[in-house]
């Protein structure tokens, strides 16, 4: 029997998380803003209906607050991530095998003993809505690619009720492929879609009939897998990709022009902390870090300057203290007085899996020091997990003045901070 693969995708995830704790905003257009409240990075259906575009500068739509009742929120990724984890836990109540794909999407296996796949999908949707307040769409098929296409249809066509099952009725799959454009197929980018269109391939059904052999010879093995999956045969691995990232980037705009050296470096130290957390999450180590700073390239009156420098460690590790020292050395090389800096960032490279590198045969034994270093990081993780992110940090993150980006419209962290837990009065 074919496997029953479902993709559960949240509707307007960021905006929906905000609305889950503000039911009074139902029916109002909502946008979520990027760092420094600069651009719209998420919109609910009502905001999209007003013509607000993805990444559109906020100042261009701010007038809609008065004329159309637009509500803006500064991005609250702590809230969104925690809500994502809660949604996954709900899906796990129905599936023994769940693979999160992104913050708002998860693949899952629906047990074969389900008498109705459509009903199973509806149960998942209703439970997520009841337990988290987040609306979702569910697509069900025999492959990941088809499940994602079915999910797109579930969200695109209201008459589906939010669930599309391509397994129970074989004809439904061909009908759906015939009405979905190739640009709606998972893994088909704009450049490939343009080239395919020139070859007479305009729908998902056309692509399925194009054939895996032709896709491999004309394009790549990746597109060949996509074609195979469109024809109902699994070609994309079920398990999540466990390959480590080859680089980790952390950068952010500063809240205003900063001329103070200590304050700019505090932002760098903050980025190092974020980068090391990501490094540790994938059980990896690294040797190199690049630090960059820049002024406002769009200013016509301020003097311009931007630069970057790289420093390396003799051994690979994931120690925040060592990397902060390396970052400080690189920062000193590029710092120049007399400029107003608006952005800083770091890039960690030369990354490898922990324990995979051959150690220097003649190097001093540092195993005891490494164990103490790991214990320190574990303690920091435990404290921040219990009392809130950023409670325990290295001292350099606290020096200087305030560099944090503007978050004028940020909502409380309803699910992760005691002081922000909603209060209900009856």
Task: Identify which has the larger pLDDT, 390 or 335.
Answer: 335
Residue 312 near residue 327, CB atoms below 8 Å: no
SS3 356: coil
Whether 211 contacts 227, CB under 8 Å:
yes
Can you tell me the mean pLDDT for 197-209?
90
What digits encode the pLDDT tens for the residues 79-94?
Answer: 998 899 999 999 999 9
* Residue 356: band (very low, low, confident or very high) from pLDDT cuts 50, 70, 90: low
What is the secondary structure of 216-273 as a DSSP string? HHHT-HHHHHHHHHHTT---S-SSPP-PPPS-EEEEEEEEEEE--HHHHHHHHHHHHH
Q: Give CA separation, 13 vs 59, 67, 303, in Å.
A: 23, 25, 40
Tell me how far CA of residue 338 lies from CA of 291, 298, 299, in angstroms: 19, 18, 15
**What confidence score (pLDDT) does residue 361 get?**
47
pLDDT of residue 51: 94
Angle value at C-alpha 275, between 387 and 241, nearest 5 degrees = 100
Give tens-digit pLDDT for 135-149.
999 999 999 999 999
Could you report the per-residue pLDDT of 300-346, keeping only the tens digit for each? Answer: 888 999 999 999 988 888 888 889 999 999 999 999 999 999 899 99
Mapped onto helix, strand or coil, the DSSP state of residue 306 is strand
Residue 249, pLDDT score: 87
Q: 231-235, 279-283, 382-386: lowest mean pLDDT where?
A: 382-386
Average pLDDT, the chain: 86
Q: What is the pLDDT of residue 1?
A: 41
11-69: pLDDT as tens digits: 999 999 999 999 899 999 999 998 778 899 999 999 999 999 999 999 999 999 999 99
């Amino acid at each position: 029997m074919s496997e029953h693969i479902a993709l559960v995708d949240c509707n307007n995830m960021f905006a929906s998380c905000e609305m889950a704790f503000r039911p009074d905003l139902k029916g109002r257009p909502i946008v979520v803003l990027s760092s420094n409240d600069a651009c719209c990075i998420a919109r609910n259906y009502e905001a999209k209906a007003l013509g607000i575009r993805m990444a559109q500068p906020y100042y261009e739509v701010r007038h809609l607050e008065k004329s159309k009742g637009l509500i803006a929120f500064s991005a609250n990724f702590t809230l969104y991530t925690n809500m994502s984890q809660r949604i996954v836990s709900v899906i796990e109540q129905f599936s023994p095998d769940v693979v999160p794909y992104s913050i708002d999407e998860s693949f899952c296996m629906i047990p074969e003993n389900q008498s109705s796949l459509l009903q199973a999908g509806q149960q998942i949707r209703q439970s997520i809505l009841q337990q988290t307040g987040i609306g979702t769409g569910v697509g069900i098929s025999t492959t990941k690619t088809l499940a994602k296409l079915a999910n797109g249809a579930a969200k695109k066509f209201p008459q589906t009720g939010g669930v599309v099952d391509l397994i129970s009725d074989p004809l439904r799959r061909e009908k759906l492929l015939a009405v979905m454009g190739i640009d709606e197929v998972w893994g088909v980018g704009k450049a490939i879609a343009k080239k395919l269109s020139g070859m007479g391939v305009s729908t998902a059904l056309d692509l399925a009939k194009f054939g895996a052999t032709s896709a491999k010879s004309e394009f790549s093995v990746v597109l060949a897998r996509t074609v195979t999956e469109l024809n109902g045969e699994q070609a994309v691995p079920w398990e999540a990709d466990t390959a480590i990232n080859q680089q980790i980037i952390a950068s952010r705009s500063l809240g205003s022009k900063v001329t103070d050296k200590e304050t700019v470096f505090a932002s760098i130290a903050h980025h190092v902390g974020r980068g090391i957390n990501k490094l540790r999450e994938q059980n990896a180590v690294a040797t190199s870090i690049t630090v960059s700073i820049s002024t406002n390239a769009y200013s016509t009156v301020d003097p311009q300057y931007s630069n970057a420098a790289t420093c390396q460690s003799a051994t690979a590790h994931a120690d925040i203290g060592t990397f902060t020292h390396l970052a400080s050395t690189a920062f000193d090389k590029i710092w120049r007085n007399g400029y107003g800096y608006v952005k800083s960032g770091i890039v960690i490279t030369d990354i490898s899996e922990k324990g995979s590198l051959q150690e220097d045969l003649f190097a001093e034994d540092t195993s005891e020091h490494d164990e103490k270093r790991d214990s320190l990081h574990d303690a920091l993780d435990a404290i921040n997990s219990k009392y809130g992110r950023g409670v325990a940090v290295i001292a350099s993150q606290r020096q200087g003045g305030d560099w944090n980006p503007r978050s004028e419209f940020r909502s409380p962290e309803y699910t992760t901070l005691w002081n922000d837990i909603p209060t209900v009065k009856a």
